[in-house]
Amino acid sequence: MDMTYSNHSPVRLVAGRLALDFLNTANWSADGQVLQEKIESMADLDLWMTALGLPDASHPPSVEDIYTLRANLRFLFLSASQRMDLGQQLQSLAIPSSGSVESLRRQPILSLVAVSALAILSDARELERVKKCPGADCGWLFLDETKNARRKWCLMETCGNRAKAARNYAKKTGS
């Protein structure tokens, strides 16, 4: 079933980890500005959580809380020098629940995202496989889980194909 946000963008879960898919709820410019917002409302957040299989996770108070955590997390993943400071902030969000898997699924979604981010940040091998898509106006992060660590694009059928088409066009036109 294809799911789309209220702005008609498809929900795509391609990053390999909850925290990275959270970061990919926006398209980013090269300088880190949001070019296209996917979660414009709590209804969009519900759609994203359903696609993840977490429809019962609780909401943050506002979409601004989503944007703040997302911007801070993205900065954290892209800036090695700041990892420790924000890592401590994430630990305050990541309050593990004792109990069943069902009780975990009802935790605040931003806490679940924080736990996912901490798991990546605390594993040097995993952290070194976090890559940023070089696609124009994409900027998505993903975990490269290929054997030879050569995955380049968030999705070959979007960013990869656009880059190949641009290269072919440049060859044909000589530009």
Determine the 3-state secondary structure of 168 from DSSP.
Answer: helix
Cα(31)–Cα(146) distance, integer angstroms = 27
Eight-class DSSP state of 37: E
pLDDT of residue 81: 47
Helix (H, G, I), strand (E, B) or coil at 3: coil
Q: Are 68 and 114 in contact (CB under 8 A)?
A: no
| Cα angle, residue 127 at apex, residues 126 and 130 outer, rounded to 5° | 95
Between the alpha carbon of residue 83 and those of residues 38, 74, 78, 93, the distances in Å are 26, 11, 9, 15
Return per-residue pLDDT of the chain as tens, 175 residues: 679 999 999 999 999 999 999 999 999 998 889 999 999 999 999 999 999 999 999 999 999 999 999 999 998 898 854 555 555 656 665 555 555 556 666 789 999 999 999 999 888 899 999 999 998 888 999 999 999 989 988 887 878 667 676 666 667 777 6
